[in-house]
């Protein structure tokens, strides 16, 4: 008798014990509905979030609403296609360049052709990715491996065309780099009445889509900052509130700032002068 694990659509690769671990690691701050969605997608693709074969990112839309995006490495795309059956390989990526680019260091477009057996025929599915649409701006790995990164985007596009049932709505990490590095929102981002601040809070850096973007900590009372941070952190950890996309950065900098001010105060109190 075979000991191989077979997973049907009605089963889940993620146990209840796994879910407890994931809620505090990979799915930290996700709502119950978002966690269920992530578990369902991971099971449908038979990819493990523990092994980083698939991971999930919350992104803010232009309307200010959050959504969960599933991201899979290109090897995970290939694995999903192979498991689906019919995957018949692919051609090497082909590149085109700007006419005036003599060095051809930066491709204008990458094209990948993926093959799938459909009713006994080897059919071609083509995906093309343009540099202008996927380059995330100054980025070490993109600047160093231009062809490799753009080719991964093109391959993901082609694999999604060939295997829509398995890969529809799933994106490769490289496809989403431009979303991760998009310019900050220009919507008004002043603290709301519920924050209870007597003066506006400001940050010394930009928080993308954050309530306090373009503001600086030093203009807010330290106790108000501490109370706000602790209140929000407690609500997020208890599951009463979903962590905004900017919260981890905000929390890290707030804790650092509070500790720095308290340290300066203690040093002044210890002075003999």
pLDDT digits (tens, 9 = 90+) for 170-210: 889 899 887 665 443 323 233 344 444 444 444 333 343 34
Q: Mean pLDDT highest for which of 85-89, 212-216, 255-259?
A: 85-89
- In this structure, of 76-85, 128-137, 259-268, the range with the lowest mean pLDDT score is 259-268
Please, are residues 31 and 39 in contact by the beta-carbon 8 Å criterion? no
Q: What are 58's two structure tokens?
A: 């919350």
* Cα 233-234-239 angle, rounded to 5 deg: 100
If one counts every other C-beta atom within 10 angstroms of the C-beta of residue 68, the result is 17
State the pairing for strand pair 170-172/54-60: unpaired
Across the chain, where does the E strand assignment appear? Answer: 54-60, 66-72, 87-90, 94-96, 109-118, 121-130, 170-172
Q: What pLDDT does residue 91 have?
A: 97
Confidence of residue 90 (pLDDT cuts 50, 70, 90): very high
Predicted TM-score of the model (pTM): 0.59
Q: Which residues pair with 216 in a beta bridge?
A: 202
Confidence of residue 64 (pLDDT cuts 50, 70, 90): low
Residue 65 has pLDDT above 50, yes or no: yes
- In this structure, of 26-35, 155-164, 185-194, 251-260, the range with the lowest mean pLDDT score is 185-194
The share of the chain scoring above pLDDT 90, in percent, equals 25
State the Cα–Cα distance between residues 122 and 92, nearest whole angstrom: 17
């Amino acid at each position: 008798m075979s000991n191989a694990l077979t997973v049907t659509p009605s089963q889940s690769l993620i146990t209840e014990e796994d879910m407890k671990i994931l809620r505090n690691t990979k799915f930290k701050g996700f709502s119950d509905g978002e966690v269920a969605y992530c578990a369902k997608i991971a099971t449908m693709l038979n990819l493990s979030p523990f092994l980083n074969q698939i991971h999930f990112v919350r992104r803010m839309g232009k309307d200010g609403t959050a959504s969960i995006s599933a991201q899979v490495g290109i090897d995970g795309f290939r694995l999903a296609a192979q498991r689906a059956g019919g995957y018949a390989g692919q051609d090497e990526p082909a590149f085109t360049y700007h006419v005036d680019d003599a060095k051809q260091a930066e491709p204008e477009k990458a094209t990948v052709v993926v093959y799938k057996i459909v009713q006994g025929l080897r059919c071609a599915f083509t995906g093309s990715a343009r540099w202008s649409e996927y380059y995330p701006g100054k980025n070490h790995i993109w600047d160093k491996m231009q062809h490799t990164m753009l080719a991964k985007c093109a391959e993901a596009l082609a694999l999604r065309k060939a295997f829509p049932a398995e890969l529809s709505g799933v994106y490769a990490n490289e496809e989403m780099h431009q979303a991760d590095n998009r310019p900050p929102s220009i919507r008004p981002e002043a603290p709301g009445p519920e924050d209870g601040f007597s003066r506006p809070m400001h940050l010394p850096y930009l928080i993308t889509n954050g309530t306090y973007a373009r503001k600086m900590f030093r203009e807010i009372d330290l106790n108000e900052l501490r109370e706000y941070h602790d209140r929000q952190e407690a609500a997020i950890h208890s599951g009463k509130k979903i962590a905004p996309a900017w919260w981890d950065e905000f929390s890290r900098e707030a804790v650092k700032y509070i500790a720095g001010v308290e340290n300066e105060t203690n040093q002044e109190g210890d002075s003999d002068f």
